[in-house]
Amino acid sequence: MDITAAAVERHVRKLAGEIGERNVFRPEALAAAADYVEGEFSSQGHEVAVQEYEARDVPSRNFEVTIAGAAQTTEIILIGAHYDSVLGSPGADDNASAVAALIEIARCLKGERLPRTVRLAAFVNEEPPFFFWGNMGSQIYAKAARRRGDDIRLMLSLEMLGCFSDAPGSQRYPPLFRYFYPDRGNFIAFVSNLRSRGAMRRAVAAFRAGSDFPCEHTATFSWIPGVAWSDHLSFWRQGYRAAMVTDTAFYRYPYYHSALDTPDRLDYPRLARVSEALAGMVRGLASDPGL
């Protein structure tokens, strides 16, 4: 089942165009975004599990859909993306682009029977004031998963997937990285901590097995700016292996966390290609006996 540019653009324009800035400072917009995400999953025929809590007295919802694996499996591949946006930004790339991918991956996988269970989660409240130490939706989710004893073999956080450029010098890096990676921002990146390195590399191999879309990867220290800046951090803290999949955010995208992060600035054909490659990657990871 193909993922089209029109499909991912529709989701981005709904979330970042029609709804716009969505966070606890604009609770009606946050609720509208939540309703949209839940509605899209439900319209695909998925049963949607809702995890509710309050943050700053604002009702907040995480959503989860499950693609059941073989009857005897307890192993889980988890893919997640946050649907809120930072204060003052409509959040087209950050993070409507990744939510669009998540919704379309769920559509592609509906009805499949894979060796491992696949869960797709839409998280609320990733952005400040909750990021790092607050009531991040992914933190609430990861703690509950650990309490249940969920055997999550790998969590992948989708974080900004819609900015690409073939122009020389369009990609920046932390110090020293530029000597090892391309100077054109036309690739998708997989980023993990050192503990998750092996699992992340298996994800990269699964991605490349089904797509020729350019991708790079690194396993490095979590204190490097940007490396821990998404929902995978919540899973690292609970002892799970996790990685981020990203267009590298502020190292490439000039409108990061600004009012100019609007739907007209994204590359929808390449976002669709990445989304489809990620769907294939999930199938590969769910079947990978070495993970």
pLDDT digits (tens, 9 = 90+) for 32-79: 999 999 999 999 999 999 999 999 999 999 999 999 988 788 999 999
What is the domain extent for residue 11? 5-286
pLDDT at 134: 83
Find out whether 87 and 101 touch, Cβ atoms under 8 Å. Answer: no
**pLDDT higher than 70, residue 1:** no
> What mean pLDDT do residues 98-122 have?
96
Find out whether 246 and 159 touch, Cβ atoms under 8 Å. Answer: yes
In a domain, 77, yes or no: yes
Burial class (CB in 10 A: 0-12, 13-18, 19+), 271: buried
In a domain, 203, yes or no: yes
In a domain, 46, yes or no: yes
The CATH number of whichever domain residue 164 belongs to comes to 3.40.630.10
pLDDT at 157: 98
| Helix residue ranges per DSSP H, the chain | 5-12, 27-43, 97-109, 137-148, 197-210, 232-237, 268-286
| pTM of structure | 0.96
How many separate domains does the chain show?
1
pLDDT at 164: 98
Cα-atom radius of gyration of the chain, to the nearest Å?
Answer: 17
pLDDT digits (tens, 9 = 90+) for 235-263: 999 999 999 999 999 999 999 999 999 99
In a domain, 291, yes or no: no
In a domain, 265, yes or no: yes
Q: List residues bridging with 62 in a β-sheet.
A: 51
Q: List residues bridging with 80 in a β-sheet.
A: 121, 157
**pLDDT higher than 70, residue 96:** yes
Q: Which two tokens stand for residue 222?
A: 């979590």
pLDDT digits (tens, 9 = 90+) for 169-207: 999 999 889 889 999 999 999 999 999 999 999 999 999
Percent of the chain at pLDDT exceeding 90? 93
pLDDT at 70: 84
